[in-house]
Amino acid sequence: MTPLSAMPIPTQAKSDRFPIHPLSIAPMMDRTDRHYRYFMRQITRRTLLYTEMVTSAAIKHGDRAYLLGFSPQENPLALQVGGDNPQDLAECARIAEDMGYDEINLNVGCPSDRVQSGHFGACLMKTPLRVAQCIEAMSAATKIPVSVKHRIGVDELDRYEDMQNFVRILSESGCRRFSIHARKAWLQGLSPKDNREVPPLRYADVHRIKQEFPHLFIEINGGLITLEQAHEQLKYVDAVMIGRAAYDNPYLFATSDREFFGDETPIRSRLEVAEAMIAYIDEWMAKGLRLHKITRHMLQLFHGQAGSRLWKRILTDRSCLVGAGSEVIRAAITAIH
């Protein structure tokens, strides 16, 4: 079966430097790696995908093939970076462009202790001029779009006017795309998980930003779990980013190309998606990868369907066995079909 990701993608209209992507899947640590992204490309070929956040230091000094490598079929794909040094981030932007990424995104929203100690992520919302310097350096270094993902506020700096000022300063530095998580971040007292759930959602603040900055591309993120909700949000903003629901129920995106991009390519069944992963699995098993590195992302393919529990049990029990390969997928397909 020809992978859905290998089919040609029609050219999209552009606004400034940005292709029009009304729907994206959020960057998620330990989730949106290259194997998850390839898997999602068997379900949707048009939704914008993101890498996990990679620090500028890791990109400069680490194993780039491992950290940044991806299959061409994963495009459109954005690299999300974390850092606060304009020169380092400019180098990352050049690397991203050279490697074939479609966009580079600066993380100004993660509240974890690790990013706070490195002075990046959500704590950067307190220093918008510093972020503006980073954006200017990155934009000057590359022709691909440079965007920012941030919160509506951080700690006590959470008035609408604070976010308004943040967006204004960054827009004056040349930033045109903002992905806004509609919750504030507490840097002390809440875990990263709690920061995704405890602070209340304030969608109206994001809608107001779009009203006051109509020339900017505004994407909303936070608490959105259905395509119906995404359609509703598009009445007020330019794009919608879905996070955990994209991992917990990946087949949610089966109709996204048709609904959001007007792509009439036939929609694959869940079984067809599983079958389309077999050649990819064989390729990576030949390179010595352990099967569970791929199948862990496929566990929820049959979410809410008869046979889901059996599917997950077979993949979980057999994928960690030494020498396990695509026969595990074939066995699971046979068991639930």
Active-site annotation, residues? 110
Burial class (CB in 10 A: 0-12, 13-18, 19+), 61: exposed
* 149 touches 179 (CB < 8 A): yes
What is the distance between the alpha carbons of residues 184 and 141, in angstroms, rounded to a whole number?
31
Cβ neighbors of 35 (< 8 A, separation 6 or more) are: 284, 293, 294, 297
Q: At what angle do helices 160-172 and 203-212 cross, to 10 degrees?
A: 40
What is the distance between the alpha carbons of residues 184 and 190, in angstroms, rounded to a whole number?
11
What is the distance between the alpha carbons of residues 49 and 229, in angstroms, rounded to a whole number?
19
SS3 content of the chain, % helix, strand, coil (to 5): 45, 15, 40
Burial class (CB in 10 A: 0-12, 13-18, 19+), 39: buried
Left, alpha or beta for 93 (phi > 0: left; psi -120 to 50: alpha)?
Answer: alpha
What is the distance between the alpha carbons of residues 196 and 112, in angstroms, rounded to a whole number?
11
In this structure, what DSSP letter does residue 143 have?
S
* 293 touches 319 (CB < 8 A): no
Q: DSSP characters for 222-288?
A: SS--SHHHHHHHTTTSSEEEE-HHHHHSGGGGGGHHHHHH---PPPPPHHHHHHHTHHHHHHHHHTT
Residue of 151, 157, 155 whose CA lies nearest to 178: 151
